[in-house]
Amino acid sequence: MAVSIELVKELRERTGAGIKECKDILEQVDGNINKAIEILRERGIEAAAKKSTREAKEGLIGVLCPLRRPRGRPGGAELRDRLCGPH
């Protein structure tokens, strides 16, 4: 079944999935957006479960200490981290 661009756009807005993935799933479920959302949700859970077993072995940790905040208040320290798991 051919799906309309409007339906693909709505599914993308509601889920944040890619255009091709939305189109393919909508074609599989004959345009039923609720079934498509359920399939995307299941795929997302599966993908998250696969990634949760990975260990982040590389990354960066940095400290940001501005002298002044906006409106003249004293600055505070902020800890930022960037962990990079395997690709």
Specify burial of residue 46 (Cβ count, 10 A radius: 0-12, 13-18, 19+): exposed
Predicted local distance difference test score (pLDDT) of residue 87 = 42
Dihedral class, residue 72 (left if φ above 0, else alpha if ψ from -120 to 50, else beta):
left
In angstroms, the CA 7 to CA 47 distance is 24
| Region 75-84 average pLDDT | 55
Tokens of 6: 């409007």
pLDDT digits (tens, 9 = 90+) for 18-57: 899 899 999 999 999 999 999 988 888 777 777 777 777 7
Question: What's at 70, amino acid-wise?
Answer: P
User: Looking at domain 5-52, what is its CATH homologous superfamily?
Assistant: Ubiquitin-associated (UBA) domain (1.10.8.10)
What ranges do the domains of the chain cover?
Answer: 5-52, 54-87
Please state the rounded mean pLDDT for residues 52-63. Answer: 72
